[in-house]
């Protein structure tokens, strides 16, 4: 099989030698100066990590890799919240899945909408890495924190969620949009004098091996994270039982339940990248804790609350019902249904609580203001 000019690919084969399973991720681009001289960027690193795990689990299978550019990768001069496309980082990849050009696609879970197009499902959610946001400082401000940056320092972020929360917490700072892949944003920070710091996902920096660039990790009291942040999702064709069985072993039960609750919360709020919505989840002593919040664009108005539910985290390979429908776009037949439903109900309950306190008005105003600017 051959890809188009933008494509580079990854694949897996479920049958020994005679057939190959094709896995895809988003395309690689140039590295920024000053970063480790790695030949692969984040999307490819993420895809490779999933394929390496599958290869270890199924040593008789054959793997190939295909990387593709998406709409979100190509539009680098406009804030994501302004583009108005729900599948910025998924549409082209899903098209390849639909045409049987690839058999599975690796995504950052936070890029996947809570309602997938018909015919697709998230067949695996891998163990979550650190979901929190990190601050990367300009070289002259290394050793500082957001709190100790000088008055009127400019902090770059591509996220309305981050900007709204951080403006509320650090009113002495200015927040401006910054687009581009991880490398581009780091280059803008290091080579230009516009930004004193930028906010990035800790997990992405860690996967790239850039632990030394993390100047500060933001705790939930400072900035809650995006739904699904830090986890990888493997998207497949919903009716392809062989591939579903193949990737299903990658489900991490605790990550799965946390992300079901988060995605149910977001879906019930009808949120997305055009409004500031954030979460924090934790499993402790058989309890799943979900904190969620919504903010006005400037952070001046917000509603937050926490709920919990008793949820048993099942063993990874316990058998679940055979014909489970999707929950918030996720299929996990090897995980018992009860805990999944409990996690979904927790997300819906918290969303209803916030809506009863006026969250809809905050979100509606945020959408209108975002669309107007």
Please state which of the ranges 26-30, 72-76, 134-138, 322-326 shows the lowest mean pLDDT.
Answer: 26-30
Compute the distance between CA of residue 19 and CA of residue 12 in angstroms, rounded to an integer. Answer: 9
**Claim: this prediction has a pTM higher than 0.75:** yes
Which one has a higher pLDDT value, 4 or 316? 316
pLDDT at 22: 59
Q: Say which of 48, 73, 111, 240 is annotated catalytic.
A: 111
Q: In terms of Cα–Cα distance, which of 147, 167, 128, 170 is closest to 298?
A: 167
pLDDT category of residue 89 using cuts at 50, 70 and 90: low
Compute the distance between CA of residue 365 and CA of residue 21 in angstroms, rounded to an integer. Answer: 46
Q: What percent of the chain has pLDDT over 70?
A: 80
pLDDT single digits (tens) 38-54: 324 788 899 999 999 99
- Whether 111 is catalytic is yes
pLDDT at 84: 47
Residue 163 has, within 13 A of its CA and on its CB side, a CA count of 23
Q: In terms of Cα–Cα distance, which of 215, 32, 217, 30 is closest to 139?
A: 215
Question: Is the pLDDT score of 31 beyond 80?
Answer: no
pLDDT at 83: 42
Which residues, in sequence order, are CB contacts of 329 under 8 Å at separation 6+?
A: 112, 113, 114, 115, 116, 120, 121, 122, 263
Please state which of the ranges 37-51, 221-235, 286-300, 324-338 shows the lowest mean pLDDT.
Answer: 37-51
Question: Is the pLDDT score of 28 beyond 80?
Answer: no
pLDDT single digits (tens) 53-77: 999 999 988 888 886 664 444 444 4
What's the mean pLDDT when you consider all of the chain?
A: 84
Pairing of strands 133-137, 120-125: unpaired
Q: What percent of the chain has pLDDT over 90?
A: 66
Is the distance from CB of 215 to CB of 137 less than 8 angstroms?
Answer: yes
Is the distance from CB of 360 to CB of 271 less than 8 angstroms?
Answer: no
Mean pLDDT of 124-151: 98
Mean pLDDT of 268-275: 83
Q: How far is CA 62 from CA 22, 65, 78, 230, 248, in A?
A: 9, 11, 39, 28, 18
Is the distance from CB of 324 to CB of 332 less than 8 angstroms?
Answer: yes
User: Structural domains in the chain?
Assistant: 24-128+225-370 (3.30.160.40), 131-215 (3.40.190.10)
Question: Is the pLDDT score of 97 beyond 60?
Answer: yes
Question: Is the pLDDT score of 100 beyond 70?
Answer: yes
């Amino acid at each position: 099989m051959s890809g188009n000019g933008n494509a580079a690919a990854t694949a897996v084969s479920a049958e020994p030698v005679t057939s190959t399973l094709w896995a895809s991720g988003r395309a690689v681009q140039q590295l920024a100066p000053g970063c480790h001289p790695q030949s692969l960027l984040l999307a490819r690193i993420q895809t490779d990590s999933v394929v390496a795990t599958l290869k270890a689990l199924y040593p008789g299978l054959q793997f190939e890799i295909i990387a593709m550019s998406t709409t979100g990768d190509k539009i680098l001069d406009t804030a994501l919240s302004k583009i108005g496309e729900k599948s910025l980082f998924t549409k082209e990849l899903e098209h390849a899945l639909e045409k049987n050009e690839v058999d599975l696609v690796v995504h950052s879970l936070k890029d996947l909408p809570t309602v997938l197009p018909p015919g697709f499902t998230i067949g695996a959610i891998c163990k979550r890495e650190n979901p929190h946001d990190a601050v990367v400082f300009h070289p002259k401000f290394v050793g500082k924190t957001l709190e100790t940056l000088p008055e009127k320092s400019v902090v770059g972020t591509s996220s309305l969620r981050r900007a709204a929360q951080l403006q509320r917490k650090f009113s002495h700072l200015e927040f401006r949009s910054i687009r581009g892949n991880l490398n581009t944003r780091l280059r803008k920070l290091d080579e230009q004098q516009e930004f004193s710091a930028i906010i990035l996902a800790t997990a992405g920096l860690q996967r790239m091996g850039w632990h030394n660039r993390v100047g500060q990790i933001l705790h939930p009291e400072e900035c809650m994270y995006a739904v699904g942040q830090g986890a990888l999702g493997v998207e497949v064709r919903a009716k392809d039982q062989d591939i579903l069985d193949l990737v299903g072993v990658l489900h991490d039960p605790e990550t799965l339940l946390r992300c079901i609750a988060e995605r149910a919360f977001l879906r019930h709020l009808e949120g997305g990248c055009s409004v500031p919505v954030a979460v924090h989840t934790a499993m402790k002593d058989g309890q799943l804790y979900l904190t969620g919040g919504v903010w006005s664009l400037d952070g001046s108005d917000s509603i937050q609350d926490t709920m919990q539910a008793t949820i048993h985290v099942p063993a990874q390979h316990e058998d679940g019902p055979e014909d489970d429908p999707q929950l918030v776009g996720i299929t996990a037949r090897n995980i018992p249904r009860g805990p999944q439903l409990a996690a979904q109900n927790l997300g819906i309950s918290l969303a209803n609580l916030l809506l009863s306190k006026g969250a809809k008005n905050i979100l509606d105003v945020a959408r209108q203001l975002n669309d107007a600017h």
